Amino acid sequence: MKKKEFFLGLVVVLVLFTCYYYLSQLYLKAMELPSSLDQNYPYFKDLFYLIFFSLLLFAGLLIILEGRDPSKTLAWLMVLIFLPIAGFALYLIFGRQFRKKRITAKKRRLNDHLNYPLQDSPPMAGQNPKGLPPELHIAKEKERLMQLILNNATFPPTINNEVKVLKNGKEIFPAFLQAMEEAQKYIYLETYIFRNDRLGTTIGTLLCVKARSGVKVRVLYDALGSRHLSKQFIAKLRDAGVEIEPFLPINRWPFHRKINYRNHRKILVVDGKIGFIGGANIGDEYLGRHPKIGPWRDTQLQLQGNAVRFLERVFLQDWSFTTKKPMELNEEPLFSEQPDTGNRIVQIMASGPDTQWEAIMQVYYYTIATAEKSVFITSPYFIPNESILTALKTTALSGVDVKLLLPAKPDYKIVYWATMSYLEELLAAGVEIYFYRKGFIHAKVLVVDGILSSIGSANMDLRSFSLNFEVNALIYDKETATRLQNDFLTDLQYAKKLEPAEFQERPLRHRFAESLARLFSPLL
């Protein structure tokens, strides 16, 4: 440990000691202990001081020694100072970094097991991006981005793909159902939320039919996101032959170590030929049936071609980790020859607590920072880290057209206030910010310079960058980018632009709520 780090840690410990000492006195005074207790147990106060201080100092030292991002360290220290008892419990549940390492170490080993040799990959997938054919001029402009994803997430670019943008549930779920109905070999479904409502029942019934017909059906749902999925529904699927498993199950113990690391991915792969990736989970609200939210705006990508195999690889890695059953390489011929499908270049990228790098965050940062004409972002949740915030401001200040579309109806108040705390400096840099008012916008889409697009499960927030398991598809194609850009501009017709002068006049209580929420934004 360097001297500078040692003295910094010593200063923090002294500050914590002072704060906790006075806080413990305040707590004892607020408790108004009866005099009889003080007489019968003369050492009660001393014991209280000792336990109180020891627990919180222990948590504070752990936070410091874990080497976190400074903003997260300060946020947790603030929680411990201002919410000593509750803060300690919250830290046990959500904050322990060493738990993250223990949970994800095994998954990393399984990922390595299923990282198929690139020389056995589809055409172009194993090549260095600098070896791109000269006619792929759009892709050649993004060679360094391709290399970044290849190096930080081991997902190479693929050719021989066709893509189709699906807008809203009325396009997304009929395509899901049609693909599953035509399945001949297997259906792999991975989702954060799976509800046994009308839509969920329809999909579940079809999965049962396909399983009984001999199709291998595997369903992976997140244990927290799908916590309301009934046991009867799950039993019905299993009785029909569907293999269905929860990702990182949660027991009733309140300090459960797995609760903070969730699988937020949305993947559907059928027969290795067709795949879907995007923001839509399985529930009636995604068809606009939520009584309070109303219309639901989402975007999904339908894939055919070589990129589907890499989407399938992500599913198999997650499935192996969940079932604790290693996949044999010859069990799933991921990189079998694909028929000629299309000429789109697609690169899958996955990231999560099990990856060395925050791959999706790095891609967001790089694409924004290197934009030359325009950056259009749609995200339901927006809590950027310092890198993304700097990239947005720098790009806007350089004259690039930067537009950000957010929902006007927040579903989590504290996230909403945290989001608002970042907007003033973005407005000052020239970023145009819009609030979508026609229901709730849940799409996670990035379009850069009219030639590069990203669609997937990752929000533009800290949780998606480091805590959630996420997956996105990057499409190097002008036609797809134009389609998504037109959808974005159409969405702006149902949005209200945030004017800097109007935002400056917001009430003082709003500013206070924003500032308070921003302190805790690294933990949201």
Residue of 266, 318, 403, 487 marked catalytic = 266
Residue of 442, 461, 477, 487 marked catalytic = 442
448, β-bridge pairs = 375, 452
246, β-bridge pairs = 221
Amino acid at 306: N
With the C-alpha atoms ordered 403, 407, 411, 416, is the resulting torsion angle positive or negative? Answer: positive
Which pair of structure tokens corresponds to residue 222? 């997140």
- CA distance linking residue 485 with residue 492, whole number of Å: 11
Task: Report the length, in residues, of the chain.
Answer: 524
Residue 442 annotated in active site? yes
Residue of 264, 403, 461, 491 marked catalytic = 264
Residue 271 annotated in active site? yes
- CA distance linking residue 129 with residue 307, whole number of Å: 15
**Do 381 and 177 contact (CB within 8 A), yes or no?**
no
CA 295 from chain centre, in angstroms, equals 23
**Do 436 and 491 contact (CB within 8 A), yes or no?**
yes
- CA distance linking residue 490 with residue 165, whole number of Å: 15
CA 23 from chain centre, in angstroms, equals 36
Residue 444 annotated in active site? yes
CA angle in degrees (0–180, nearest 5) for 465-400-437? 65
Residue of 222, 354, 449, 487 marked catalytic = 449
Residue of 298, 318, 444, 477 marked catalytic = 444
- CA distance linking residue 492 with residue 489, whole number of Å: 5
Residue 2 annotated in active site? no
> Alpha carbon of 168 to those of 12, 272, 298, 353, 390: distances in Å?
50, 24, 5, 30, 32
- Give the residue from 465, 471, 407 showing the smallest Cα distance to 434: 407
Residue 100 annotated in active site? no
Residue of 210, 222, 271, 487 marked catalytic = 271
Pairing of strands 158-167, 344-351: antiparallel
The residues annotated as belonging to the active site are 264, 266, 271, 442, 444, 449
